[in-house]
Each structure stands twice: as structure tokens, then as C-alpha cells.
Amino acid sequence: PKLRMKTAINPNTGTAKDEQLFGYTSLPMGQQFIFNLEADDEIGQSLFDQVIEILQHKDLKLGRSRSAEYGAVKIELLPEQKDERPAIGDSSQA
């Protein structure tokens, strides 16, 4: 993680606001994460497909400082893979 100090800007004067120094801790650019998205059956495949489409093609930002240079993310759909890890408490893998 990287710590950067920032100051809030007064929109009327364009100068730093008094006593408005704060810090952001951020991950280095280029980090990759894998996640699984699931939905209840009641959601329906059409709506689920729309969510996937939006996630892949919108300019998305994560985190607190979305208006600054932080948080831009790109989501890619990966081929589905069988999870080979045993479930917690699965004694068949002993």
C-alpha cells in the first residue's frame, strides 16, 4: 500500500481549505483480483446478463477518491472453471 497526502480545495478560491489535510492509502496500479458473481434464481438470466454487460463495458471506479486519479477498474469475464478446492469441513479430501 502507498500513502499519499492531499488537501481539500476551496471551490470559490481554488486554494487549499484550512485544516483539510488528509491521506489516502492505495494499492499499486495493476493489481488483479478474481471474484465470482452469483445471483438468486429469482433475478432471471436476462437481468443477470445485463449486469455482466454493464460491468464489462462501463468506466468503473472503486474506493473513496473516485474523482481523483484513484480507483479506475476494468472487469473482464473469464472462462468458467471448476473450483478444485475442497469445501470447508469436506473430509473426503483428507
Same domain for 20 and 36: no
Query: What is the largest distance, in Å, between two alpha-carbon atoms of the chain?
Result: 67
Give the residue with greater pLDDT, 2 vs 33: 33
Decide if 24 contacts 3 (C-beta within 8 A): yes
What pLDDT is attached to residue 68? Answer: 66
87 in a structural domain:
no
Same domain for 66 and 39: yes
Task: Convert the pLDDT of each residue in 28-85 to its tens digit.
Answer: 888 899 888 899 999 999 999 999 999 998 888 887 765 667 788 899 988 877 766 6
Give the residue with greater pLDDT, 57 vs 86: 57
Is the pLDDT at 15 greater than 70, yes or no?
yes
Q: Give, in order, the Cα–Cα distances in Å from 74 to each of 29, 32, 49, 54.
A: 12, 10, 17, 11
Give the residue with greater pLDDT, 94 vs 20: 20
89 in a structural domain:
no
